[in-house]
């Protein structure tokens, strides 16, 4: 259990380091080798940070509204409220706001910038389909995202992806090369720099997906530790995987929030999914010894 959590955290740090190295490499190439200055590089970073901060403080409201989620109180659904409340008391985190999504799809997600401003949402379908210990496993998984500050990690990732993509787009449109004082010679450095800028948005997206997948494994392990019953979440994931009901309100922007990929499975869907395969998640859960 603890070794899996530690390994996931270490891999996330490694991927974030690669991210920063990629941005610094592009910045060096554009600012120093091309001799054009760092103005556009700094602008791109500033623009991405501002965009991410807006998303950070308002993204939860947008995500909840986009799914049609409705906030409930204890009297509206005592069963769900008690499950959430008991787990928050056990882990010592504040009680989040609880929402219900009117959909027969089997899914759930958590959002919010920190434990004090968190919300958890479950579909009516998952509430009806799962047994209590399975629902408890799902809720524990989502509360783990809150406790582990995954929203903060993903906000940083959004900043980095946005910065890299913006710089690459500006370069491809010729805005960074115009009037540049490119140094004589160094053709190989020039070729490597061009390849770096052209491929960097793709690499950034793949790193983002890898980090998202690592956080899912971490939330599975943390959720199992929270309930002391990995089998509950494992069975829940199997039922979620077997459900064919679509979550029509999901979008590419919110897909990473859900406990399982809300889109239809397929080779391309799995390759570019923010979630690891459910079969692998179930296997890992059943190998956990508490």
Residue by residue, pLDDT tens for the chain (290 residues) are: 567 667 767 777 777 788 777 777 777 776 666 666 667 677 767 777 787 778 778 888 988 998 999 999 999 999 999 999 999 998 899 999 999 999 999 999 999 888 899 999 999 999 999 999 999 999 999 999 998 888 777 767 767 777 777 777 766 665 555 555 555 545 665 676 677 667 777 777 777 787 788 889 999 999 999 999 999 999 999 999 999 888 888 777 678 889 998 875 554 455 557 789 999 999 999 998 87
Q: For this structure, is 184 an active site residue?
A: no
Asked whether the beta carbons of 120 and 100 are under 8 A apart, the reply is no
Name the helix (H) or strand (E) containing 120: strand 119-123
The owner of tokens 């089997």 is 106
Q: How far apart are CA 30 and CA 130, in angstroms?
A: 54
DSSP 8-state class, residue 38: S
Give domain limits for the chain.
2-287
Question: Which one of the listed residues 142, 187, 231, 280 is annotated catalytic?
Answer: 142
- The candidate with the shortest Cα–Cα distance to 27, out of 47, 46, 42, is 42
Query: What angle separates helix 187-227 from helix 78-91, to the nearest 10 degrees?
Result: 110
Closest to 150 in 3D by CA, of 221, 203, 232: 221
């Amino acid at each position: 259990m603890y070794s899996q959590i530690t390994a996931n955290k270490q891999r996330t740090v490694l991927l974030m380091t690669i991210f920063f190295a990629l941005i610094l490499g592009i910045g060096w190439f554009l600012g120093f080798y091309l001799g054009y200055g760092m103005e556009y590089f700094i602008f791109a970073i500033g623009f991405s940070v501002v965009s991410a901060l807006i998303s950070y403080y308002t993204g939860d409201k947008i995500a909840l509204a986009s799914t049609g989620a409705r906030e409930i109180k204890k009297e509206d659904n005592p069963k769900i409220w008690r499950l959430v409340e008991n787990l928050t008391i056990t882990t010592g985190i504040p009680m989040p706001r609880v929402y219900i999504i009117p959909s027969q799809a089997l899914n759930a997600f958590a959002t919010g910038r920190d434990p004090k401003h968190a919300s958890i949402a479950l579909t009516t379908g998952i509430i009806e389909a799962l047994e209590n210990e399975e629902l408890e496993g799902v809720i524990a998984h989502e509360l783990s995202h809150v406790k582990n500050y995954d929203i903060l990690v993903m906000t940083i990732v959004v900043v980095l992806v946005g910065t890299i993509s913006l710089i690459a787009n500006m370069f491809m449109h010729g805005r960074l090369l115009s009037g540049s004082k490119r140094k004589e010679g160094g053709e190989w450095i020039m070729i490597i720099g061009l390849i770096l800028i052209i491929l960097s948005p793709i690499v950034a997206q793949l790193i983002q997906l890898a980090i998202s997948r690592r956080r899912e494994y971490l939330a599975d392990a943390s959720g199992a530790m929270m309930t002391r019953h990995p089998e509950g979440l494992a069975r829940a994931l199997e039922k979620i995987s077997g459900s064919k009901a679509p979550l029509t309100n999901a979008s590419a922007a919110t897909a990473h929030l859900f406990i399982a990929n809300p889109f239809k499975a397929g080779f391309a869907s799995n390759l570019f999914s923010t979630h690891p395969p459910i079969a692998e998640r179930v296997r890992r859960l059943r190998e956990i010894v508490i």
